[in-house]
């Protein structure tokens, strides 16, 4: 069976998720289109890379990503580093003829993202941006119902991504609060997942009208390189650094097909953990999804019997998208790991079958253009029309 060697740049939280996906993919989707092989892991020092390689099952380690990108044995470069390093690595990887998968958001703004898109297109390599949540079977099922016309013409999309890991002012100043590294705050980090849902399920966004807030303007400087994501709180009189990105974004949106809607993203919503939701109303029915209950899709169709009208729950399983490879009984449980396994499967399949996979760098670029427009709208306090922009 064909093997594809992966060089993974970054061995933190997302590195763990991607390594799990490479290990698990052939166990779920067999025969595998090709078996991803964990060849080399790169991190900032040899010591950190060595430990991460041992933990995540890679044969080799390195602290020099350029050497790994140039290594002729490597087929795929997987980028799971902070946002400010994505472009340089992806462009070098594309030039070296490697297929590239990169964590979201692709880069810090649309202009930087465009350089990545241009590079992969010029090199003719396969590319994917890791908006994994659209690969939750219940989300793919929503897409299927919409394409089959089950809820008719879409009127409204209401999407949220709410977390609370940064609601405490003592949560450290992770790189995710620094514009120079992250590009934007809640918008780029989690709002982009909702924008991906909106484009995937409804269509292209044409106009936005947003408000943005930074609730906690400074945070304790984080010790050590690893991103603590609010799990470690600093107490007492510790040095603080400036937060120069949005903590919260709320925007109205208009779609090309006439639908309207709203998108909200915040990491300051006490009690919300991974509250990634959408409710879509069509003229023949409605669909509701909440990632915190990710085996379930709530549906209501206008032709349901009058005495049974109301939302009901479909539990995803073998009858639904990706069901052929996943667990044999509905509601045994889809997790974050499974969404990443499906993502790896679709990426490997696109390489082997020489087809385009979505979301790819073009989608990542369009999402970056929408994100820039949201920030511009919040700053100018007015609607911003995207048809005049390069989407
Ligand atoms: C932090 O908000 C984070 O890790 C995001 O960066 C991921 O994209 C999301 O899936 C989980 O939360």
* pLDDT, tens digit, 9 for 90 and up, residues 275-291: 999 999 999 999 999 99
Q: Given this model, what pLDDT does residue 238 score?
A: 84
Collapsed DSSP state (helix, strand, coil) of residue 179: helix
Segment 353-372 mean pLDDT: 98
Separation of CA 190 and ligand 1 centre (Å): 6
Per-residue tokens: 333? 């449980």
Q: Given this model, what pLDDT does residue 231 score?
A: 67
Per-residue pLDDT of 149-203, as tens digits, reads: 999 999 999 999 999 999 999 999 999 999 999 999 999 999 999 999 999 999 9
Please state, rounded to an integer, the average pLDDT across all residues of the chain. Answer: 96
Q: What's the Cα-to-Cα distance from 221 to each of 36, 153, 224, 341, rounded to whole Å? A: 38, 49, 10, 34
pLDDT of 390 strictly over 90: no
Segment 213-238 mean pLDDT: 79
Percentage with pLDDT > 90 across the chain:
94
> Ligand 1, closest atom to CA 103?
8
pLDDT band at 229 (very low <50, low <70, confident <90, very high): confident
Pocket-testing residue among 190, 245, 336, ligand 1, by greatest number of atoms within 8 A of Cβ: 190
Q: Given this model, what pLDDT does residue 226 score?
A: 64
Q: What's the Cα-to-Cα distance from 378 to each of 79, 178, 205, 261, 329, rounded to whole Å? A: 30, 18, 16, 17, 46
Tell me the pTM: 0.97
Q: Given this model, what pLDDT does residue 389 score?
A: 57
Per-residue tokens: 236? 């007492």
d(CA 290, CA 298): 9
Neighbours of 323 (CB within 10 A): 16
DSSP 72-109: TT--EEEE-S-GGGHHHHHHHHHHTT-EEEEPSSSSSS
Q: ipTM beyond 0.95?
A: yes
CA torsion sign for 379, 108, 268, 161 is: positive
Pocket-testing residue among 189, 195, 277, 371, ligand 1, by greatest number of atoms within 8 A of Cβ: 189
Separation of CA 322 and ligand 1 centre (Å): 23
Separation of CA 104 and ligand 1 centre (Å): 9
Q: Given this model, what pLDDT does residue 391 score?
A: 46
Segment 353-363 mean pLDDT: 98
Question: Which residues neighbour 237 within 8 Å (Cβ) at sequence distance 6 or greater?
Answer: none
d(CA 171, CA 298): 35
- State the burial class of residue 208 (Cβ atoms within 10 Å of its Cβ: 0-12, 13-18, 19+): buried
Q: Which residues partner with 287 through β-bridges?
A: 280, 299
Q: Given this model, what pLDDT does residue 15 score?
A: 98
Q: Which of 270, 344, 237, 268 shows the shortest CA–CA distance to 14?
A: 344
What's the DSSP call for residue 156? Answer: E
- Any residues with Cβ below 6 Å from ligand 1, and which? 163, 189-190, 267
Q: Given this model, what pLDDT does residue 224 score?
A: 65
Segment 2-8 mean pLDDT: 98
Separation of CA 191 and ligand 1 centre (Å): 10
């Amino acid at each position: 069976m064909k093997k594809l060697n992966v060089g993974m740049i970054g061995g933190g939280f997302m590195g763990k998720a991607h390594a799990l996906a490479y290990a698990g993919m052939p166990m779920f989707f067999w025969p595998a289109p090709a078996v991803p092989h964990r060849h080399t892991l790169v991190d900032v020092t040899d010591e950190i890379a060595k430990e991460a390689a041992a933990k995540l099952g890679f044969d080799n380690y390195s602290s020099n990503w350029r050497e790994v990108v140039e290594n002729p044995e490597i087929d795929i470069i997987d980028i799971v580093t902070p946002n400010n390093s994505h472009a340089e690595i992806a462009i070098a990887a594309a030039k070296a003829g490697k297929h590239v998968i990169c964590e979201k958001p692709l880069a810090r703004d649309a202009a930087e993202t465009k350089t990545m898109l241009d590079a992969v297109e010029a090199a003719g390599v396969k590319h994917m941006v890791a908006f994994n949540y659209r690969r939750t079977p219940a989300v793919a099922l929503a897409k299927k119902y919409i394409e089959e016309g089950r809820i008719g013409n879409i009127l409204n999309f209401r999407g949220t991504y709410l977390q609370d890991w940064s609601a405490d002012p003592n949560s450290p100043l992770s790189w995710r609060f620094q514009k120079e590294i992250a590009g934007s705050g809640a918008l780029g980090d989690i709002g982009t997942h909702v924008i991906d849902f909106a484009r995937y399920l409804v269509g292209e966004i044409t106009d936005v009208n947003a408000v943005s807030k930074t609730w906690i303007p400074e945070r304790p400087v984080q010790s050590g390189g690893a991103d603590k994501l609010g799990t470690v709180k600093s107490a007492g009189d510790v040095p603080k650094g400036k937060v120069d990105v949005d903590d919260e974004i709320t925007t109205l949106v208009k779609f090309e097909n006439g639908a309207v809607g709203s998108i909200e993203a915040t990491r300051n919503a006490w009690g919300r953990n991974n509250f990634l939701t959408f409710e879509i109303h069509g003229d023949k029915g409605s669909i509701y999804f909440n990632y915190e209950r990710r085996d379930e899709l709530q549906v209501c169709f206008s032709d349901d019997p009058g005495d049974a009208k109301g939302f009901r729950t479909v539990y995803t399983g073998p009858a639904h998208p990706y069901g052929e490879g996943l667990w044999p009984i509905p509601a045994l449980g889809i997790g974050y790991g499974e969404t990443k396994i499906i993502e790896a499967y679709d990426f490997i399949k696109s390489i082997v079958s020489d087809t385009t996979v979505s979301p790819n760098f073009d989608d990542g670029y369009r999402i970056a253009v929408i994100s820039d427009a949201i920030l511009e709208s919040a700053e100018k306090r007015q609607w911003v029309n995207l048809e005049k922009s390069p989407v």
